[in-house]
Chain A
Amino acid sequence: MFENINHLMVLIPALPLASAIFTAIFGRSLLKERAHLPTILALVASFVLSLFLLFDIRGRVHELHESSEGAATHSVGVEVWHTLWTWAAIGHEYHHPDTVVDGHAAPADVAGHNFDFIVDVTLRADPLTAIMLCMVTFVSSLVSIYGVGYMHGDRGYWRFYSYVSLFVFSMTMLVSVSNFALLYVFWEAVGVCSYLLIGFWYEKPSAAAAGKKAFLVNRIGDFGFAIGLFLLWVTYGTLNFHDTPAADGVAAVAGILGQTRLADPSLYVGGAVGLAICLCLLTGACGKSAQFPLHVWLPDAMEGPTPVSALIHAATMVTAGVYMVTRCTPLFVASPESQEVVAAIGGFTALLAGLIAVTQTDLKRVLAYSTVSQLGYMFLGLGVGSLAGISAGMFHLFTHAYFKALLFLAAGSVMHAMGGVIDMRRFSGLRFIMPTTCWTFWFGSLALSGVFPFAGFWSKDAIIGAVGDRAAAGSTLYTVLFWASLFTAFLTAFYTFRALFLTFYGREKIPPEAGHHAHESPSVMTFPLMILAVCALGIGAVYEWNHTFAHFLGNTPSLAYATIQATAVHAGEHSHLGLALFSTFVALSGVGLAAYFYLGDHRHIEQLTRIMRSPFGLRLYQLSSGKFYIDPIYNLLIVWPLQLLAAVSYWVDRWIVDGLVNLCGRVPVAFGAVLRSLQSGLVQFYALVMVLGMLVLIGTLFLWPAG
């Protein structure tokens, strides 16, 4: 049925798109309470097709390795791409002199010549895309099932599902396209979906403001991304990932991430231009993946419905930046300084968000800062620049999607039961009321804290190990980052279990909003929780077994080329057993500290409070709970000056520019007032004026020179 992989690549995004359009048109009138059906069907179907795609790609990987032993030349990695149509083709007559030299592309002149601007709508499939597709469609399927219970009875039920389908379409396209211009298009498209869903309850001013904030902060990142694209264009003369074949089979234009360049990594531009490109791309990634200094939007985005927080703001969309940096690995490798920047930003964000998370009282906010922190881990892994680091970063993305979606959905379940209250100070001891939510939350927490053998242990340990290797090689920066990441792991365990203990343990306390019938969520909500809990338990070990994940991912063209493969550490050569033990110890000590303070009869909180009352402690506490005052600083430095400028501009426009324009507008009107007074209505007068006019015309004849 699906023997042709091209069909799969098209169908996976097409189904959610169809469901989005269908639900948008018929949702209000026809589907009503059944608006979830098209979406769930489409997403599950997409997930099944994604699995087919994954197996197809795996088959190709095996084929490549079996054939490569004898073959003299083989392609770099496994990639399949399929051009649907050409979206834009401008300037066919110009050919860059350097891009085509007998099928051997040379780096283009940085100054830029006349290139063909061709944007092909091309879908691609390779291990990276396949993994992302499976992850996105799986999590979104579960979230959409969960939403049946959570969003039940909402006025915008159909709207919710239409948006979710649209989001899944955009996200699957984002990871499938083989062109930077289209990547940018869908980058924006997921941003729009995120904006729509954060502001889903747009009557709420805070939701509307959060949506706006998310959009604006993302725009700052996108600005950098766009500049990066322009630089890529003038530097490489194409925006395609893949090589464009000419009629005779020779590469006509070497794609940025195509076989021609990967086979000869010296074709990548380093130096100042390379650094500039990477930093611009990184700005975009920071915006979408909520990295410092553009992380401020993500915690506010929790104003949206909780399934959305789980899907978009924890599991999938925020990983777009990680995906993009991974995809562009050859560019970052060509510019080592940029990798250090990636690592530094990642490590710093992880630590900063962890520090903020320990004092938050809003359950979803704790999870939001934890997301920012974990995304920081991923960037840290990517910034190591070795195959181990990058695959560890991607692996963490993969496992994190499951357990963070789990935690958010569980938090949503709590919120659902508590009548919309999410402040941890207002409820506690829910473990008997909500047993399923409690144990799934346990699984998620253990995974997030990185306790053996849960999923997070494997991926986080891999990142810390990769950073440790780099630190052991004698780099000061990475040594600092190594210790910071370990400390962050401790913080992670602490704040996660603080939230767990505060919510589910202690004296039973239920806010009045919950009413008298606080109960476990319906099975349509707990079922996805249980599935995700199983994933959180097992998915790390399964894929870490014999480095399956890293090996498979390593066949992505961007990671399969020689420079990166040279950094690969062969299995068994280094095992981070000591480190694994140490990090487990760190995690457990975090859990223990949380248990010491928050478990039981709260007598230790008195001690904690006493510590915090001291001037120094108080200041530290305020710094953390005030999120390091980043929002006020931005307000003072950016928002306020801009508002002042806007006010001045408005004044100038209102009173000077508009005044001039209005003056121009008044002149014809005044002129008309004079002329209309001639219209007396008397036919004698009209005739007189006609005759006079005729006489004037005759008079001009006398004035006209003869001849």
Chain B
Amino acid sequence: MSTETIYCLLPEMMLIIAATLIYIGGVFVPGRQVWSGIAIGAVLVSGWTLYGQYTRMFWPDQHPVADAVAAAEHGSAGEVSPEYPPEPILSVAVPGPLKVDLFSQYVRWLVLVVGLIFVLMATQLAPDVQVPEYLGTLLLAITGLMIVASAQELVLLFIGLELISIPTYILLYLGRRTIESQEATAKYFFLSILSSAVMLYGFSFLYGAAGSTELLKIQDAVGGIDESSGFLWFARLSLVLIFAGLGFKVTAVPFHFYAPDVYQGTTAGNAALLSVLPKLGGLVALVRIVSFAMPGMETYAWHLALVLALVTMTLGNVVALWQDNIRRLLAYSSIAHGGYMLIGLAVAFAGASGADSASGFDGVAGMLFYIAAYALATTGTFAAVIYLGRDDRPIESVDDLAGIGRNHPWTALSLAVFMFSLTGIPPLAGFWGKLNLFAGALSIHLPGEEGDLGRYWFILLAVVGVLNAAISAGYYLRIVGVMYFRSSQRDLQADGGTGAGLAMVLCAVLVVFVGLQPNPLQVGANAAAQSARLPGGGATLDIASEQPSDVSAVAMSVAGE
């Protein structure tokens, strides 16, 4: 741990400081606007520091520190190359348990955008909700996910994941004081604890097999395990357990059961939170651990991910067809989308196992793009639901939306945009996401004798994915139809708060923008995916120990900023 590491954690620290401030101040000042403003400000400041980090550390031609770091990465410290690359550095070495690369940057940016939307949605909570507590806890959950994105060490990773989970329990509890809500909270609590235990069990096996908690060392150790030794089997067991534990967060079948009940029981804002934060955390952790730290396991891992993807998306979509409660419907929708994201994971694992993707589609990049599109559309939908409802009369069933195409045209238009994007209709963000994933699955070429069989599996995966997209249109378009072609049954006031309205509009604009101009996000996702495969910080640790003077100089000048 050094000052440099601390610099890298600055955005997270901003959030934690703000959360602490809100907790303490909230005791004395029970205002609502104040704390919402501070929370929004905290997210923005965090984004600002993250931006500073990005420009300083990843663009070598803008800062000497980054030059030195880049040089250190290339193993030629002290001799700075005069020609700077026109592209950002993919991965920057820092000592300690962090992996500072574009992958973590991408995820952190995404988390901050989504976090801002969550804070906006929470600006007008029910009067009986303890607003400061809610906002502070929300910031902590966001921080947890950002830590997951940067962790390259099992303990930190676990802490990050728990920092998502534990605040989520509190948020669920704070959301609404009804029997249903309490039941949902209890369910989520028990099942989440169970999954964490399973995951931790997996981590311990992994540690036992590899002898280290650092992912890079685990990579070396697992890659070097003798095939005949029993350790290999332990490593595999740990893989399964980690998959099972994180599968809960990704809502993979059969670990998905909590989602519909919990979403239905809690508020729309909490449901939005649940549909994005744990899912993103689980996927990021899976990419970090399985595709990076467990060489030799990928073949098994992609089979696992592929089967889970098939089952998960199919179950989510077909059961969603039956739902009338809007949050329950979106719960199944989120299960289905978890399945789609597992497609990307399967492609990524297959890629890591030695398959070459003929057309350059990358599984991790596809997944990263998809999760951004999904997160925007889903949180936007929940924001619209909050905006249309009222604390004492929230939108419950799909039929409540009847006729809003006439009464609230802009909200209806935004909702329609989200529904079309989630279905995957061009030219919206969701279309490009699905295109990436399915094209990635179709372009996989596996080596060896079993390659053809594997290829058929991936073609099957893509075909089932497309069929599922068609099935999902059944319930998404039903919502659009209800909004526009049915007359309203109850008078909706649309007084769920300006913040929610703003969040909705922001999401809609982003979904349309990404749909029309997918290139920037695509480039970012590609670079992030590329950087996730690099050894990154671990490699430079050794260099750092050999050449302490340079790195400490780096650290000093960073700290001096």
Contact = CB atoms under 8 A, between A and B. Distances in A.
A425 B182 CA distance: 86
Nearest to A690: B255
Contacts of B255: 690, 693
Interface string B218-256: 000000000100000100110011011000100001110
A694 B241 contact: yes
Contacts of A707: 227
Nearest to B323: A676
A666 to B, nearest CB: 10
Contacts of A676: 319, 322
Nearest to A707: B227
A140 to B, nearest CB: 38
A671 B468 CA distance: 13
Interface in A648-707: 665, 668-669, 671-673, 675-676, 678-679, 681, 683, 685-687, 689-694, 697-698, 700-701, 704, 706-707
Contacts of B318: 668-669, 671-672, 675
A694 B244 contact: yes
Contact of A693 (B190, B237, B254): B254
Contacts of B102: none
B206 to A, nearest CB: 15
B319 A675 contact: yes
Nearest to A669: B321
Contacts of A668: 317-318, 321, 471, 474
A694 B198 contact: yes
Contacts of A687: 190-191, 194
A701 B237 CA distance: 8
Interface residues of A, number: 28
Residue among A673, A681, A685, A697 having the largest count of chain B Cβ atoms under 10 Å? A697
B474 A689 contact: no
B240 A701 contact: yes
Contacts of B398: none
Contact of B187 (A665, A675, A683, A701): A683
Contacts of A697: 240, 243-244, 304
Contacts of A683: 186-187, 190-191
A691 B236 CA distance: 17
Given A676-B322, A690-B255, A701-B237, A681 B261 contact: yes
A600 B248 CA distance: 101
A660 to B, nearest CB: 15
Given A683-B190, A698-B240, A701-B237, A690 B322 contact: no
A566 to B, nearest CB: 59
Interface in B391-429: none
Per DSSP, chain B at the interface is: helix
Contact of A679 (B186, B237, B260, B300): B260
Contacts of A685: 257
Contacts of B258: 686
B195 interface: yes
Residue among A694, A701, A706 having the largest count of chain B Cβ atoms under 10 Å? A694
Contacts of B474: 665, 668
B504 interface: no
A683 B237 CA distance: 26
Contacts of B233: 701
Interface in B312-339: 314-315, 317-322
Contacts of A701: 233, 236-237, 240, 300
B187 A686 contact: yes
Given A665-B474, A693-B254, A707-B227, A679 B261 contact: yes
Interface string B296-317: 0000100010000000001101
B509 to A, nearest CB: 27
Contacts of A672: 317-322
Interface string A378-416: 000000000000000000000000000000000000000
Residue among B300, B318, B322 having the largest count of chain A Cβ atoms under 10 Å? B318
A531 B258 CA distance: 84
Contact of A692 (B237, B243, B254, B261): B254
B321 A706 contact: no
B257 A675 contact: no
A106 B12 CA distance: 75
A692 B304 CA distance: 16
B464 to A, nearest CB: 12
B237 A698 contact: yes
B322 A669 contact: yes
A427 to B, nearest CB: 49
A686 B191 contact: yes
Contacts of A681: 261
Interface string B160-197: 00000000000000000000000000110011001100
Given A668-B321, A672-B320, A676-B322, A690 B304 contact: no
Contacts of B253: 693
A698 B304 CA distance: 11
Given A689-B257, A694-B244, A704 B227 contact: no
B254 A675 contact: no
B145 to A, nearest CB: 23
Nearest to A670: B318
Contacts of B236: 701, 704
Nearest to B227: A707
A700 B303 CA distance: 11
Contacts of A686: 187, 191, 257-258
B315 A675 contact: yes
A75 to B, nearest CB: 48
Residue among B194, B248, B315, B319 having the largest count of chain A Cβ atoms under 10 Å? B319
B478 to A, nearest CB: 12
Given A697-B240, A697-B304, A701-B236, A690 B257 contact: yes
Contacts of A679: 257, 260-261, 319
Contacts of A698: 237, 240-241
Contact of B254 (A669, A673, A689, A706): A689
A119 to B, nearest CB: 25
A657 B260 CA distance: 35
Contacts of B198: 694
Contact of A690 (B186, B240, B248): B248
A681 B254 CA distance: 14
Nearest to A687: B194
A673 B300 contact: no
A221 B286 CA distance: 65
Residue among B243, B253, B257 having the largest count of chain A Cβ atoms under 10 Å? B257
Nearest to A697: B240
Interface in B233-291: 233, 236-237, 240-241, 243-244, 248, 253-255, 257-258, 260-261
B161 to A, nearest CB: 17
Nearest to B471: A668
A681 B264 CA distance: 11
A689 B258 CA distance: 11
Contacts of A669: 318, 321-322
Contact of A704 (B190, B254, B300, B314): B300
Contacts of B194: 687, 690-691
Contact of B322 (A673, A700, A706): A673
26 contacts: A668-B317, A668-B321, A669-B322, A671-B314, A672-B317, A672-B318, A672-B321, A673-B322, A678-B257, A679-B261, A683-B191, A686-B187, A687-B191, A687-B194, A689-B257, A690-B191, A690-B244, A690-B255, A693-B253, A694-B198, A694-B244, A698-B240, A698-B241, A701-B233, A701-B237, A707-B227
Top 9 A-B pairs ranked by shortest CB distance?
Answer: A672-B318, A693-B254, A686-B257, A694-B244, A668-B318, A672-B319, A671-B318, A676-B319, A697-B240
Interface of A: 665, 668-669, 671-673, 675-676, 678-679, 681, 683, 685-687, 689-694, 697-698, 700-701, 704, 706-707
Given A668-B317, A707-B227, 12 more contacts: A668-B321, A668-B471, A668-B474, A675-B315, A687-B194, A689-B254, A690-B255, A690-B257, A700-B304, A701-B236, A701-B300, A706-B227
